[in-house]
Chains A and B, each alone.
Chain A
Amino acid sequence: MAFSGEDEHRLPSALLFAGLILALTAPLSVLMAGRETHFLYALAWSLFTASMAFGIRFTGRTATFRRIFFAVSALAFLFHLKHGLFTGGRIGYCIDAAVKATPYCHISMASFLPERIHQEFIAAKIGMWPVFWGPIKLAAVWLLVTLAIGRAWCSWICCFGGINDGFCAIPRRPLLKLGPWAFRLRDLPAALLIFMLLAAIGYSMPVFCMWLCPLKTTTPFADPENASRLVQYALAFVGVVALALVPLLTGKKIFCAYLCPFSAWQALWGRLNPFRVSADPGKCVSCTLCTTACPMNAMKTGPEGKPVPGAYCNLCGDCVRDCPHGAMRYSIAGLTLPPRNGVFGSLLTAEYLYVFAALTLGTVFSALWGPAALKDLAALFGFN
């Protein structure tokens, strides 16, 4: 939705939108940030996201402000995680000690959940249920978020996705273009997911964390055996290259699109959620600019060359932004809401309802590390 000079309610509506986000996220962020972080840091984090909401409504540039929020959130995650490791501090995005049990990262959850369920089943049989509260809580949160925003998890919440997204936005023009092979390998995440499900069940270990995770966020991974450890480091390096370097060269989210099993998991379950990006066939001239813009290589060509967002579309909105004819739009199960006037009425569109849900959940989730990162930053400059 591009900025329109005729939108007389732009400023009050943007203020209302930001106010709604702030009112909802501030108390929840304080709650999520926990007792170890002063509530002012959580409030600052909520103010930051409210400013993003203001920007989205005021300028109509959803994709741009989404990217700023997403990249800053990922940067905060990375900073807090690594700061915690180097200073011996608490890795503060855990909710409680039980969550620290491997694995609690959502990516590993995709391939390890059945194994966890099996363990809980065995525990229940001997009256010891639940064994691990952390993964159960994470699974519940995942389900809630998936029902609310579906595949947008990968474009608003995931810390890995934020890093990938931030790097692929840096080059003005991609230095490398992906060939047709990129489309042939588009189902690699689904294959990785199936393989990791089987291997995780078969070998009772978090295969993704141990072998592929570029950030090594959860598991003490290093194998005591030298050759295996070397392979682990090599694969983690491949992950880092896919996370940071290749997106810089190609402008595509290579890690998310080709190496993340969770993107396939979310593509499957994200269908439960009604928010979609779709093309208006009446306005579309089949220029394929949206296909070029898609950082996930998720756009397929339908009848008469019209674009059809595929299962891996994570609703980032880059195609909506880049479409010169306004043919790409957010919808609710393919339907748009009738236009309304007024300060509040103008917010009742599929796009703003989607942004409201995604930004609210993104803020609350990132409150697990965002306020803590602000605190780390303050401590770095001598403020406590």
Chain B
Amino acid sequence: MAALFTEGFLLGLSTGFYCLVSCLPLLLPYVLAEGRSSWKTNGFILLQFLIGRFAAYMLFAALATWAGKAGQYEMPGWVLPASLCACGVLMMFLAIARVRGLEAPCLLKKDLGPLFKRLPVALGFATGINICPPFAAGLLRLMGLADFARGTVYFCGFYAATSLFMSPVLLGTPWISNRVREIGRLTLLLAGLWYCGLGLAGLLR
């Protein structure tokens, strides 16, 4: 088991930069838009994001193990672009509702609902199920293992190493001000549009 954890960890360490660039266009604008100049607040956002990502990884570990056991090595083609789309819509919705001076949609007038309070978890989950090249390499290994317990340990190692690469998003914490939050919200809107466009393009192909 330790060897499997290490194997996953090393794969994550060697390819973590790609995980970072896949998640950064989403995570950084979110931290800028919703964060504060407090390490605690931003650290909590990152933690929620990582929890969502962890849930997605474990789900994939289970699915890949099941697929490996069943000898099924393919997944429906619409799942990934649909998750990108959902991710983009969430980001745009949040950005539009929070841009200063604009009237928020009626659902959000009083307060952001419980779902939106845990938005980092949802965003983490949505990015977690988007397969980047290192993630795909891990999945193939998991299918080969076809064992839930061993697969989970392997993916835990992979997840732990790639999560280390997410920590630089906290570096801007001391500079987060009202103006930076406004800029973050506009960036969130642009990134949402981008993710939506990518997802739609994938769905229409």
Q: Please report A residues at the B interface, Cβ cutoff 8 Å.
A: 180-181, 184-185, 187-188, 190-192, 194-195, 198-199, 201-203, 225, 227-228, 231
Contact = CB atoms under 8 A, between A and B. Distances in A.
22 contacts: A181-B101, A184-B100, A185-B186, A187-B186, A190-B183, A190-B186, A191-B184, A191-B187, A194-B28, A194-B29, A194-B187, A195-B25, A195-B187, A195-B191, A198-B21, A198-B29, A201-B21, A202-B21, A202-B24, A227-B201, A227-B204, A231-B197
A198 B31 CA distance: 14
Interface residues of B, number: 25
A67 B137 CA distance: 57
Interface string B124-155: 00000000000000000000000000000000
Interface of B: 21-22, 24-25, 28-29, 32, 99-101, 179, 182-187, 189-191, 194, 197, 201, 204-205
Contact of A195 (B182, B190, B201): B190
Contact of B101 (A184, A187, A203): A184
Most buried by A among B22, B185, B190: B190
Shortest beta-carbon contacts, A-B, top 6: A191-B186, A202-B21, A198-B25, A191-B187, A195-B190, A190-B183
A297 to B, nearest CB: 15
Given A191-B189, A225-B205, 14 more contacts: A187-B182, A191-B183, A194-B29, A194-B184, A194-B187, A195-B187, A195-B191, A198-B29, A199-B25, A201-B21, A201-B24, A202-B21, A202-B24, A203-B21
Nearest to A196: B190
A84 to B, nearest CB: 32
A199 B194 contact: yes
A195 B29 contact: yes
Nearest to A207: B194
A191 B183 CA distance: 5
Contacts of B29: 194-195, 198
Contacts of A231: 197
A198 B183 contact: no
Contact of B25 (A190, A192, A202, A227): A202
B173 to A, nearest CB: 16
B22 A192 contact: no
Contact of B194 (A184, A190, A194, A195): A195
B22 A194 contact: no
B201 A228 contact: yes
A225 B200 CA distance: 13
Most buried by B among A185, A190, A192: A190
A195 B186 CA distance: 9
Contacts of B194: 195, 199
Contacts of A187: 179, 182-183, 186
Contacts of A202: 21-22, 24-25
A81 to B, nearest CB: 28
A195 B92 CA distance: 14
Contacts of B197: 231
Contacts of B182: 187
Nearest to B194: A199
A119 to B, nearest CB: 13
A332 B144 CA distance: 68
Contacts of B101: 180-181, 184
A203 B18 CA distance: 10
Nearest to B99: A184
B121 to A, nearest CB: 21
Contacts of A227: 201, 204
A185 B204 CA distance: 32
Contacts of B183: 187, 190-191, 194
A190 B175 CA distance: 15
Nearest to A188: B186
Nearest to A181: B101
Contacts of B204: 227
A217 B159 CA distance: 42
A191 B190 contact: yes
B202 to A, nearest CB: 11
A194 B204 CA distance: 28
A199 B192 CA distance: 12
Contacts of A188: 186
A191 B187 CA distance: 5
Contacts of B205: 225
A228 B194 CA distance: 12
A132 B179 CA distance: 36
